[in-house]
């Protein structure tokens, strides 16, 4: 057992500065048992990207969880201040790299908020089509990651098989598999290649047919899955709202909020889809919400393909972009929640300030609140509930 | 336990929010733009205005806090949304080299990390914050605030005390 002095020394080395720390509950009981501090990450095989959790453990129970971030911080907001508006779009791809299309879309909406430009309807349909494909390519692997962390290896292979096919479609449309730079201010970079709508349709039909067997029947009633996820990370809707959660972590607590419906953008008002909620508010509920949202995305993709008009894909922009002075806002529903961009323009061709509100960053606050009281191995399923992406929380 | 969210038509709600703010606080500017209420308040009033937004008007979600370095002053934007189509933008300008503003973590707990980020990037201190540490940058031996306009990106930074 460590002496008291050594313990204090070690603790302050782990969590400097000691002043102003969150007050940790005192769990040392009359037997003189002590808690131990443990650092989980930043290099941890199951961790989503580079995240360090400073844990205070009482036996196997977590009493304090303090996330330390910044290992992938590139200060994107500063870089963006020194570039012209269109040159920021490829940077946004590097934010949340599982939702690149949504980042581009959010940024572009914020710039267009300050510009007088009409977006051709075909471009809007292509944007939504790409975003919904991206949502599939993010939700399905996130289910795979959750299962991988619980020890099941098969679902991640099925998930990446699907993601791979969607990336092949993206490659044919945009020329890149992940860093697209496809959604541009005023429209999209290029029209869809002629055979792509049929390819997407065939793929979506196939996915719909095998979705039930590969991702629902395989996982949903599995005894190990249920015992590791039911009741884990449980929170109420009130608590979730207080922590500022959005996206599936909020909807799995029963709060009915989806930016696509409540703050409509692009052509979402013309499309039919349901906002999925669940009441349990635990890891299992978030899995069910993601599964149901995949089916809604399939529905949206089909409607986009059916309704897509012909025409131009790029609006009429001047040679140099000079958004008018003031605040521009863009807000989209990314797979992880509310992705918002705030641009402050001073009338020149570079933004004066760009601020990103990334869902991974805000949703991760639940670690501090929800993890204490859980066992150490429950942390990974709770990370699966949030499904954060390192590029997102670190900007 | 079900969560109650604001109801009713958007225009009425925006008007109700604006009246709610102007009835209780001195506003420097106030207007309705599209689906947003924009109010500019004195920096000392920010916690009180946000408390009104949450408790009296039922706006439940703090989306983000943006700080803008206007060289000599700092402009803070608190973006609130009521989850049903209306937005509220609360703006305040802090003058001076060592900016301090009251923390809103007691009202919106989610502000915790947003304020830590603002402190890290701009050096804006939030009085009453329970845990005001740097969020991204190194805790020690780094006394720069990278998003200040005075921080040049091409300059090589050293870690004082660590060489």
- A282-301 tens-digit pLDDT: 899 999 999 999 999 999 99
A68, A86, A102 - which closes a domain? A68
Quick check: B135 and A70 CB within 8 A?
Answer: yes
pTM above 0.90, yes or no: no
- Euclidean distance between CA atoms A134 and A392, whole angstroms: 15
**Per-residue DSSP letters for A73-110?**
---HHHHHHTS-GGGGHHHHHTSSTT-HHHHHHHHHHH
Q: What are phi and psi of A156, to 5 degrees?
A: -65, -30
Residue for token pair 């005075």: B150
Q: Count of domains in chain A?
A: 2
What is the domain range of residue A208? 76-394
Q: Do A320 and A237 share a domain, yes or no?
A: yes
Neighbour-count burial of B162, counting CB atoms closer than 10 A to its CB (0-12 exposed, 13-18 middle, 19+ buried): exposed
Q: Do A226 and A304 share a domain, yes or no?
A: yes
**Mean pLDDT computed over A141-156:** 89
pLDDT reading at A7 higher than 80:
no
Question: Residue A392: what pLDDT?
Answer: 86
* Alpha-carbon dihedral sign for residues A17, A18, A24, A28: positive
- Euclidean distance between CA atoms A103 and A137, whole angstroms: 14
**Mean pLDDT computed over A120-125:** 91
A29, A48, A68 - which closes a domain? A68
Quick check: B130 and A355 CB within 8 A?
Answer: no
Quick check: A355 and B66 CB within 8 A?
Answer: yes
Q: Judging by DSSP bridges, how do beta strands B73-81 and B61-69 pair with one another? A: antiparallel
Size of interface A-B (CB pairs under 8 A): 99
**Mean pLDDT computed over A342-350:** 89
Domain limits, chain B:
10-127
pLDDT tier at A29, thresholds 50, 70, 90 = low
Q: Do A297 and A248 share a domain, yes or no?
A: yes
pLDDT reading at A14 higher than 60:
no
| Residues lower than pLDDT 70 in chain B | 1-2, 154-163
Q: What are phi and psi of B33, to 5 degrees?
A: -120, 115
Which segment of A29-43, A250-264, B8-22 scores lowest on mean pLDDT?
Answer: A29-43
- Which class would CATH give B10-127? alpha beta
3-class secondary structure, B53: helix
The domain that holds A272 is classified in CATH as 1.10.645.10
Question: Which of B110, B130, B131 faces A362 most closely, judged by CB atoms?
Answer: B110
Question: Residue A158: what pLDDT?
Answer: 92
Q: Do A54 and A94 share a domain, yes or no?
A: no
Question: Residue A314: what pLDDT?
Answer: 87
Quick check: B83 and A344 CB within 8 A?
Answer: no
Give bridge partners of residue A184 from the DSSP assignment: A187
Q: What is the CA radius of gyration of chain B?
A: 18
Q: Do A262 and A361 share a domain, yes or no?
A: yes
């Amino acid at each position: 057992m460590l002496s008291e002095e050594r313990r204090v020394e070690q603790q302050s080395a782990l969590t400097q500065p000691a002043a102003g720390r969150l007050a940790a509950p005192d769990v040392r009981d009359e037997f003189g048992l002590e808690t131990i501090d443990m650092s989980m990450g930043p290099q941890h095989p199951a961790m989503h990207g580079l995240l360090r959790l400073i844990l205070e453990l009482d036996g196997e129970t977590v009493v304090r969880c303090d996330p330390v971030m910044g290992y992938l911080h590139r200060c994107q907001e500063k870089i963006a201040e020194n570039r012209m508006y269109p040159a920021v779009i490829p940077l946004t791809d590097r934010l949340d790299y599982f939702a690149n299309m949504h980042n581009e879309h959010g940024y572009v909406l914020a710039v267009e908020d300050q510009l007088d430009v009409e977006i051709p309807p075909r471009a809007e349909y292509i944007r939504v089509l790409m975003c919904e494909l991206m949502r599939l390519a993010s939700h399905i692997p996130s289910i795979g990651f959750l299962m991988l962390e619980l020890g099941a290896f098969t679902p991640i292979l099925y998930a990446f098989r699907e993601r791979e096919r969607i990336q092949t479609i993206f490659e044919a449309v945009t020329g890149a598999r992940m860093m697209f730079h496809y959604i541009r201010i005023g429209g999209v970079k290029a029209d869809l290649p002629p055979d792509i709508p049929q390819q997407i349709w065939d793929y979506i039909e196939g996915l719909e047919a095998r979705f039930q067997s590969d991702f629902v029947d395989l996982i949903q009633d599995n005894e190990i899955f249920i015992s590791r996820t039911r009741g884990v990370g449980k929170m109420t809707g009130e608590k979730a709202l207080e922590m500022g959660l959005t996206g599936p972590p909020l909807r799995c607590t029963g709060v009915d909020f989806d930016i696509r419906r409540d703050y409509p953008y692009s052509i979402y008002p013309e499309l039919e889809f349901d906002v999925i909620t669940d009441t349990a508010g635990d890891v299992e509920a978030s899995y069910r919400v993601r599964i149901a949202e995949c089916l809604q995305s399939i529905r949206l993709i089909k409607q986009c393909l059916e309704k897509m008009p012909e025409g131009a894909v790029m609006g009429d922009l001047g040679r140099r972009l000079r958004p008018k002075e003031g605040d521009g806002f863009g807000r989209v529903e990314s797979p992880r929640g509310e992705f918002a961009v705030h641009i402050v323009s001073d009338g020149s061709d570079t933004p004066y300030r760009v601020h990103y509100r990334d869902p991974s960053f805000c949703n991760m606050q639940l670690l501090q609140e929800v993890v204490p009281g859980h066992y150490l191995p429950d942390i990974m399923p709770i990370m699966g509930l949030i499904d954060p992406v390192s590029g997102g929380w670190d900007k | 336990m079900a969560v109650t969210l604001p109801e009713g038509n958007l225009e009425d709600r925006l008007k109700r929010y604006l009246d709610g703010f102007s009835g209780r606080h001195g506003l420097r500017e106030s207007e309705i733009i599209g689906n947003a209420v924009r109010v500019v308040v004195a920096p000392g009033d920010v916690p009180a205005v946000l408390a009104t937004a949450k408790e009296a008007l039922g706006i439940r979600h703090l989306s983000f806090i943006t700080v803008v370095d206007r060289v000599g002053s700092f402009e803070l934007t608190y973006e609130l949304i009521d989850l049903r189509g209306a937005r509220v933008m609360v703006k305040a300008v802090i003058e001076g080299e060592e900016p301090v503003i009251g923390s809103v973590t007691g009202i919106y707990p989610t502000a915790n990390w947003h304020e830590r980020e603002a402190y890290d990037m701009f050096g804006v201190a939030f009085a009453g914050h329970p845990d005001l540490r740097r969020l991204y940058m190194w805790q020690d031996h780094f006394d720069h605030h990278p998003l200040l306009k005075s921080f040049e990106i091409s300059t090589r930074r050293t870690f004082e005390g660590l060489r």
